[in-house]
Amino acid sequence: MTAALRPPCASGMFHNIECGPPVTSPSPPTENLGFPMLRGANVAGFYSSRRSLVLHCGRSDSLKRIKVKENTGNWFKPIKAIVDSDSSWTEERGAALSGTNLRQMSNVGKSTNILWHACPIQKQDREQLLQQKGCVIWLTGLSGSGKSTIACALSRSLHSRGKLTYILDGDNLRHGLNQDLSFKAEDRSENIRRIGEVAKLFADAGVICITSLISPYRKDRDACRALLPKGDFIEVFIDAPLHVCEARDPKGLYKLARAGKIKGFTGIDDPYEPPCSCEIVLQQKGSDCKSPSDMAEIVISYLEENGYLGA
């Protein structure tokens, strides 16, 4: 007895696939099986390459990965299948059995059965095109320390050298992507996490991404560092003491915070954790305070020395 198996996705690919008796349990992890064994199974997802087709099938409790080799023509005909009823199944094992590289479905956070889709054009190809290395320059410091000013000076100077940059500024991103977030600790963390992920994409695009965020918590900055390949996260601490920032107070926010009109303001009644070890410290202390463009040059010489301004 046969019944047509239709995957929930709207692909016409499986129209000619038929299935028969149910899978008997327990089934051996590796066995020659055909589509007749698929009766009653739901196809939750699939992926295919030129040479092979992999179905993810399951009743409700567990998904099984079933690899089917391709026949000729437009249809995938079941000449051999591997049912994975064994939790020790690995991608390497599958590849060894089939002679092809399988890609693995994952569950990430609340996303289930997702597949990484790779593109043949990689970071290195884009870097070659741009003649630079993608990285993240993470500016951290108190409000009024000079993050935005230095970010702009850096971007301007790199741009004039023909380097592609993009600034992710905390204030600006709170106008859009992060407008749902407040300044509570967990929202600041989420703000940093999202911007870290966006910065990672920019770096992967080959861009020199400059972030300008207070990013007051060490663990959040470290989590962003961990997203990137070693060396590509360049943490720059703008070391301007509170009294300097407060004296500048360009937006009048310190004054409001001191008056109790803004609650949880960084440096006043909310913490700032300076980096323990970071790539660059820009000191803004005493009469020796350098101009924003001098500070940008310090960062640029770091990039030069570490090979980020060439491919």
Ligand X SMILES: Nc1ncnc2c1ncn2[C@@H]1O[C@H](COP(=O)(O)OP(=O)(O)O)[C@@H](O)[C@H]1O
Ligand Y SMILES: Nc1ncnc2c1ncn2[C@@H]1O[C@H](COP(=O)(O)OS(=O)(=O)O)[C@@H](OP(=O)(O)O)[C@H]1O
Alpha helix stretches (DSSP H) within 165-252: 170-173, 185-204, 218-227, 242-248
List binders of ligand X among 204-223 (CB under 6 A): 212
Q: Which is nearer to ligand Y, 15 or 263 (CB)?
A: 263
Alpha-carbon distance of 140 to 145, in angstroms, equals: 9
Supply the minimum distance, in Å, between the C-beta of residue 239 and ligand X.
11
Supply the minimum distance, in Å, between the C-beta of residue 214 and ligand X.
7
> Per DSSP, what are the bridge partners of residue 111?
108
Q: Which is nearer to ligand X, 84 or 246 (CB)?
A: 246
Q: What phi and psi values does residue 216 have, to the nearest 5 degrees? A: -75, -20
Q: Which is nearer to ligand X, 206 or 292 (CB)?
A: 292
Q: Report if residue 191 touches ligand X, rule: CB under 6 A.
A: no
Quick one: which of 311, 308, 307, 304 has its CA closest to 129? 311
Distances (CA, A) of 301 to 56, 104, 188, 240: 51, 42, 31, 21
Q: Which two tokens stand for residue 50?
A: 């030129």
Taking a C-beta distance cutoff of 8 angstroms, is the pair 64, 56 a contact?
A: yes
Query: Among this protein's residues, is 215 annotated catalytic?
Result: yes
Indicate which residue of 215, 277, 291, 293 is catalytic: 215
The only residue of 97, 289, 298, 311 in contact with ligand X, by rule CB under 6 A: 289
Q: Which is nearer to ligand X, 211 or 284 (CB)?
A: 284
Part of the chain binding ligand X (CB under 6 A), chosen from 49-57, 65-73, 77-85, 142-150 = 142-150
List binders of ligand X among 112-141 (CB under 6 A): 141
Tell me which residues are annotated as active site.
215
